[in-house]
Amino acid sequence: MGFSLDDRRSLIDDLDRRFSNGIADRAAAADADGCLPPENWRDVIDSGYLRVFHPAEIGGLGADGVTQAMAMETLARACPNTYWSATMSALVGGKLIHTYGNLADHRRLLDPLLSGERLACFAVVERTSGSDAGTYVTTARRDGDGYVLSGEKTRVANATDADLAVVMARLNGVENGWCFAFVDLRQERVRTYPMPGMGLRAMSWGGLVFDEARVDARDVVPVRLDEYPKGVSWGWLFMSIAAIAIAESALEASIEHAGTQIAFGRPLAHMEGVQAALAEMRTEIDAARLLAHRCAWHRGEGRLVLELVGMLKAYASEMAVRVTQHAVQIHGSWGLTPGHKVERLYRDAPMNVIGGFASNRLRELVAQELGLSVTYQEFDWLSPTGLARDSGEHLATSLVTE
């Protein structure tokens, strides 16, 4: 497991050159306008970024996991919004189709994602359901030689721009049956709507409403419910790297500001409290990056390492919030001024905490891997004390009687 940049220098340097001289320059305007410039997508396509995550035999670059992680951080440093949109499509959407589908039936879906001709999203959560997949009610029902999909998915990245959705749904008529449905979103029976957010303003968050949308039979792939965490683990990795990139950008801005801002006759960087904050930021970012590269290497080798990715997602996403808070503190009022880079990063950071699984749920998964049971069992705390569960009612009755 090598983390050296030497063997990866050519690809990473090329991506950095392309992204820093275009996409990064447009990041502030994209956030202010609330939409991604078309030039960003063209730069992503031309760079070959969309092919980084896939093997050479299907048109990818065949990059190892650590190279993939480095490529992701390069784009996320340039523009978190562009990174989220492109990586959700090529990595999460593409990996789900490649992993759960098959090339004979689904090459027609995968190729346009790798070339950038089409954009994908992963539609999972619903209005009344978050990370608890067992409560989802969207259904795929057999209808003639295909299926119809009914229900609503919300808080979906790329929702209003995507051409294709990987949708997690119940298989109607099959006990404990679930599926991933690969759905064409450009049909009449699909409606999309936007959902503005605090951060990642240029990326199209929104919802999808399926009114018996048609799905080809070969595009409904049965899965077990316990496949859900496995399916979204790539998403946990890409959100973690987004968090690392945001934190790194915040640190870079803070070092520059601390070195030039004069207060009480000296630069902020000469103050012990500021030095301690910067040192802590550097340490936490590097720790998260090392864990991310470890996870990426294992995932690239085909290993699930669910507990590692769960640890990474919880740690890295929360770390970025802490780091951007330090950055705001160092910048003072500038850090909360609309249009300032740190203010934008401060808004973007929490989006990676919420996306995917909530941190508490991720910690439960890690605990399970440690051999701890997290299954809730009802426990009667009152009976051993001689009090009934309805003791409040008995008390009220005795008071009335007396």
- Residue 206's domain is classified under what CATH number? 2.40.110.10
CB neighbour burial string for 37-72, b if at least 16 within 10 angstroms, e if fewer: beebbebbbebbbbbbbbeeeeebbebbbbbbbbbb
pLDDT at 108: 96
Residue pointed to by tokens 């991720």? 362
CATH of residue 54's domain is 1.10.540.10
Compute the half-sphere exposure of residue 171: CA atoms within 13 Å on the CB side of its CA. 17
Same-domain check for residues 266 and 202: no
Task: Please determine, for residue 399, whether its predicted confidence score (pLDDT) is greater than 50.
Answer: no
Residue 96 near residue 150, CB atoms below 8 Å: no
Q: Is 14 buried (19+), middle (13-18) or exposed (0-12) by CB count in 10 A?
A: middle
The percentage of the chain sitting over the pLDDT mark of 70, rounded to a whole number, equals 92
Lowest-confidence segment of 73-77, 80-84, 164-168, 395-399 by average pLDDT? 395-399
Same-domain check for residues 60 and 191: no
Alpha carbon distance 344, 199 (integer Å): 7
For the four alpha carbons of 383, 388, 389 and 395, in that order, the dihedral sign comes to negative
The percentage of the chain sitting over the pLDDT mark of 90, rounded to a whole number, equals 75
Residue 382 lies in a domain: no
Same-domain check for residues 247 and 277: yes
Count of structural domains within the chain: 3
Give the residue from 196, 223, 250 where a domain finishes. Answer: 223
Q: What is the mean pLDDT of residues 353-378?
A: 81
Q: Which of 84, 92, 133, 127 is nearest to 361 (CA)?
A: 133
Give the residue from 171, 203, 223 where a domain finishes. Answer: 223
Average pLDDT, the chain: 91
Residue pointed to by tokens 């496995």? 230
Encoding tokens for residue 387? 């009090």
Same-domain check for residues 77 and 150: no
Alpha carbon distance 345, 349 (integer Å): 6
Task: Please determine, for residue 387, whether its predicted confidence score (pLDDT) is greater than 80.
Answer: no
Rg (CA), the chain: 24
**Residues spanned by the domain of 182:** 121-223
Residue 295 lies in a domain: yes
pTM of the shown model = 0.90
Alpha carbon distance 348, 344 (integer Å): 6
Q: What are phi and psi of 171, to 5 degrees?
A: -90, 105
Top pLDDT among 9 and 145 is at 145
pLDDT at 395: 46
Q: Is 301 buried (19+), middle (13-18) or exposed (0-12) by CB count in 10 A?
A: exposed
Same-domain check for residues 364 and 231: yes
SS3 3: coil
Task: Please determine, for residue 253, whether its predicted confidence score (pLDDT) is greater than 50.
Answer: yes
Same-domain check for residues 240 and 360: yes
Residue 4 lies in a domain: no
pLDDT at 122: 96
Residue 30 lies in a domain: yes
Alpha carbon distance 101, 93 (integer Å): 11
Q: Is 189 buried (19+), middle (13-18) or exposed (0-12) by CB count in 10 A?
A: middle
Q: What is the pLDDT of residues 35-72, one digit of tens each?
A: 999 999 999 999 999 999 999 999 999 999 999 999 99
Alpha carbon distance 269, 263 (integer Å): 10
Residue 379 lies in a domain: no
State how beta strands 120-123 and 164-171 pair. parallel
Task: Please determine, for residue 226, whether its predicted confidence score (pLDDT) is greater than 90.
Answer: no
First-to-last C-alpha distance (Å) of the chain: 77
CATH of residue 364's domain is 1.20.140.10
Lowest-confidence segment of 142-151, 166-175, 330-339 by average pLDDT? 166-175
CA dihedral 208, 197, 318, 277 (to 10 degrees): 160
pLDDT at 130: 77
Q: What is the pLDDT of residues 207-221, one digit of tens each?
A: 999 999 999 999 999
Same-domain check for residues 363 and 246: yes
Count of other CB atoms within 10 angstroms of residue 224: 10
Length of the chain: 402
Same-domain check for residues 113 and 126: no
Confidence of residue 174 (pLDDT cuts 50, 70, 90): confident
Q: What is the mean pLDDT of residues 189-211?
A: 95
Distances (CA, A) of 357 to 131, 132, 311: 6, 9, 12
Same-domain check for residues 242 and 304: yes
Residue 48 near residue 164, CB atoms below 8 Å: no
Contacts of 281 (CB under 8 A, 6+ apart): 247, 250, 251, 254, 323, 326, 327
Same-domain check for residues 286 and 192: no
Q: What are phi and psi of 185, to 5 degrees?
A: -85, 0
Q: Which of 214, 221, 181, 223 is nearest to 101 (CA)?
A: 221
CA dihedral 345, 350, 351, 353 (to 10 degrees): 140
Distances (CA, A) of 242 to 30, 102, 245, 290: 17, 29, 5, 14
